């Protein structure tokens, strides 16, 4: 009798294991979503816990000593209850990028993951990522990405040496690509977030929910994501390693930044009208519109770029601006003045006015909060440099000399001030955009 009872308990335990693996992904499936247009805010390190602030600042300081510069600080929302605090830097001399990340998951108990990552992208589409995160990514790397994950290497210089060693070992013959100065946030959104989600859409793990403007896991995706993070699959992934040799038979990553290196070699207007380069210039206009940079949009429109050029999802520059993290009434006016059609719809059947009204409604539903001023600005709304930034500028002055440094500083100061003054998803700007687009709709129907 006692033996039969023990066998029953053992049988139930054996049944619970597959039940857990089958039911747990379904239980969390409705809650998993990734914002397609995350509302990024400039990171104010003063609001972070002391341990997180210390990690971010000390790692960034070490990277500055390694030759990295142009720090881009951002607070990035991810899946529900998860926020990433990021400092991204670039080494233009070597063509490498670095990103210091602190992931905070809030729930019954707060979980934190901190790590440093080096990344190098080539025109051929190959990408090398080297990081010391202790947790595996939910998604496997792209076929052209080699991911080297070494939690034991905590020294930034040692990790960077390993990163360069891996690149040399593979003997890539292509040229490195970097984002243009001042485009750090756009790169963070486009390449680090959206490109990753789009890769998973192609793989069948995610799908785009146009109604809520988010990416959600497919049934296949939610099971593979969960099983990949659970034992024994998790241990198998660690044993196999995070990276793999890329396939060189096709290029699936767009050469988004290659044009930044050679656009000065020919007249931008001629290249923008050349069918061979036209799509690249349209992407530059989209990036400027999404960033909410009216001056840059006007400049790129002056090259002859079509103001109604559409992305693969049918999004025009108007929709890109309204749906981005920095809607700008001045940008919308510049696009309309150049002939942008506000009535054009994307593949979801929505116009720029539809997106503006939706975003305004969401913001108005939130409790009113005082506008957060960038810690980089003083009481007169002028730029106040941190000691690290000032030290980096002093170093650049020594390296460039007085003549070259003057031009460098002028451009750097303009971009840095513009970034500090940028307000993310400003309700006042969105209200103005709604008024402008409504007036444009009435004018077209009259």
* pLDDT bracket for residue 238 (50, 70, 90): low
Q: What is the pTM of this model?
A: 0.53
Q: Which domains does the chain have, with CATH numbers?
A: 29-240 (no CATH), 266-368+380-446 (1.25.40.20)
pLDDT on residue 245: 35
18-38 b/e (C-beta count within 10 Å ≥ 16 → b): eeeeeeebeeebeebbbbbbb
pLDDT on residue 232: 67
Candidate from 167-171, 236-240, 383-387 with smallest mean pLDDT: 236-240
119-131 pLDDT per residue, tens: 999 888 888 999 9
Identify which has the larger pLDDT, 38 or 167.
167
pLDDT on residue 446: 58
Candidate from 3-17, 233-247, 271-285, 338-352 with smallest mean pLDDT: 233-247
pLDDT on residue 445: 64
pLDDT on residue 426: 83
pLDDT on residue 251: 28
**Residue 432 above 90 pLDDT?**
yes
% the chain with pLDDT above 70: 82
**Residue 19 above 80 pLDDT?**
no
* pLDDT bracket for residue 90 (50, 70, 90): very high
- The CA distance from 109 to 116, in Å, is 24
């Amino acid at each position: 009798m006692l033996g039969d009872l023990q066998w029953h308990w053992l049988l139930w335990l054996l049944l619970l294991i597959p039940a857990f693996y089958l039911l747990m992904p379904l239980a969390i499936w409705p809650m998993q979503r990734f914002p397609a247009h995350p509302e990024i805010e400039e990171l104010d390190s003063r609001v972070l816990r002391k341990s997180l602030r210390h990690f971010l600042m000390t790692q960034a300081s070490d990277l500055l000593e390694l030759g990295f510069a142009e720090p881009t600080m951002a607070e990035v929302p991810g899946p529900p209850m998860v926020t990433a605090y990021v400092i991204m830097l670039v080494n233009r001399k070597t063509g490498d990028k670095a990103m210091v990340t602190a992931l905070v998951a809030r729930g019954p108990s707060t979980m934190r993951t901190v790590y440093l990552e080096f990344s190098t992208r080539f025109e051929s589409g190959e990408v090398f990522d080297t990081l010391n995160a202790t947790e595996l990514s939910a998604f496997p790397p792209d076929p052209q990405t080699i991911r080297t994950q070494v939690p034991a290497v905590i020294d930034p210089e040692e990790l960077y040496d390993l990163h360069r060693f891996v690149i040399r070992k593979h003997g890539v013959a292509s040229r490195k690509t970097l984002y243009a100065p001042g485009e750090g946030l756009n790169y963070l959104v486009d390449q680090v977030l959206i490109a990753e989600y789009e890769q998973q859409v192609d793989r069948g793990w995610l799908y785009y929910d146009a109604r809520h403007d988010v990416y959600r896991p497919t049934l296949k995706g939610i099971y593979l994501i969960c099983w990949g993070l659970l034992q024994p699959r998790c241990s198998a992934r660690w044993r196999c390693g995070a990276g793999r040799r890329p396939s060189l038979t096709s290029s699936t990553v767009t050469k988004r930044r290659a044009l930044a290196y050679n656009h000065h070699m020919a007249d931008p207007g001629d290249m923008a009208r050349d069918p061979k380069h036209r799509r690249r210039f349209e992407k530059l206009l989209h990036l400027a519109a999404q960033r909410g940079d009216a001056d840059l949009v006007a400049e790129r429109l002056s090259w002859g770029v079509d103001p109604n050029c559409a992305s693969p999802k049918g999004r025009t520059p108007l929709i890109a601006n309204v749906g981005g993290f920095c809607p700008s009434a001045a940008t919308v006016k510049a696009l309309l003045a150049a002939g942008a059609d506000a009535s054009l719809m994307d593949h979801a059947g929505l116009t720029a006015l539809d997106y503006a009204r939706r975003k305004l409604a969401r913001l108005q539903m939130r409790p009113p909060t005082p506008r957060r001023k960038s810690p980089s600005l003083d009481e007169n709304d002028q730029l106040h440099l941190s000691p690290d930034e000032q030290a980096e500028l002093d170093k650049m002055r020594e390296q460039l000399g007085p003549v070259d440094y003057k031009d460098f500083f002028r451009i750097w100061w303009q971009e840095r001030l513009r970034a500090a003054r940028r307000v993310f998803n400003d309700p006042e700007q969105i209200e103005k955009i709604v008024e402008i687009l409504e007036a444009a709709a009435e004018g077209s129907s009259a």
